[in-house]
Structure 1
């Protein structure tokens, strides 16, 4: 770990900068926990990543690929959700660019920040994003109005 993350939050947005060497999920989870955020929509992400594991769901299991080289974070979409037990679940997909200017993409399982990651989350007011198991056991999104 390379030190505390830099972030700011208001009622509508959470803006986070992760630092070189940060474990992406570990550091982002720490920020979300500290701010008690259980629902968020990722609207922007830029930077670089290394030691990335992404996957493609083939119907029964994920086919995963790991890339150790630094790659540009060209796009990341997804959401932060609460699971049934209240724990956090991040459903994130990425498109990454290599030094040869090729792209790869898929569900993000693991990554280390290379140089920086800059993320902007929308904090939905009056809506909770939950993840519950459905059908074949995958965690599915269930948006709900807060009561």
Structure 2
């Protein structure tokens, strides 16, 4: 993994086999990013565990073959979970699957753009009505 910072932006390059979530968590620590956004991501991945929210629980499915990442974005907060990432990925038949990203690995690579917000502070708060840890501005 490589990453470079330019002002509030951080560009991350993941190499083949690198864990997407763990790599991003490492960048957040190294660059001291507590709040911000995952602006975009391109590349491809394998073993993508993608969830669809049905009520208060996620239906999860793992897509093992390599898939082209067609959309990748999310938020970064001080709360748990630290990142909330959504992904769309297409297989060789051009069918796209999407939802909440729980895990996956880059194959052969990913390029991700992060934005660090120094003035907007956010966390997550459990809302009983939705059963989810929702975004809350501090």
TM-score bracket relative to the smaller structure:
over 0.9
Give 5+ residue unaligned stretches, structure 1: none
Counterpart CA distance in 1 for 2:111 and 2:63 is 21
Partner of 1:133: 126
CA deviations on 1:100-132 (whole Å, 9 max, x unpaired) are: 111110100010111111011122231112112
**Residue among 52, 60, 64 paired with 1:64:** 60
- Residue of 4, 10, 17 corresponding to 1:8: 4
- For residues 22-37 of structure 1, the aligned pairs below 5 Å read 22-37=18-33
Provide the secondary structure at the position in 1 that maps to 2:82: strand
Mapping for residues 1-147 of structure 1, pairs under 5 Å: 5-83=1-79, 89-135=82-128, 136-144=130-138
The alignment covers a number of residue pairs equal to 137
Q: Which runs of 5+ in 2 are unaligned?
A: none
Structure 1 length as normaliser, TM-score?
0.87
Residues 7, 14 of structure 1: 8 Å contact kept: yes
Structure-1 separation of matches of 2:30 and 2:70: 27
Deviation at 1:40? 1.5
CA contact (8 A) 1:38 1:88 kept: no
**TM-score computed with the length of structure 2 as normaliser:** 0.93
CA distance in 1, matches of 2:37, 2:56: 27
Following TM superposition, by how much is the alpha carbon of 1:143 offset from its aligned partner in structure 2, in angstroms? 2.3
1:88 CA displacement: 5.6
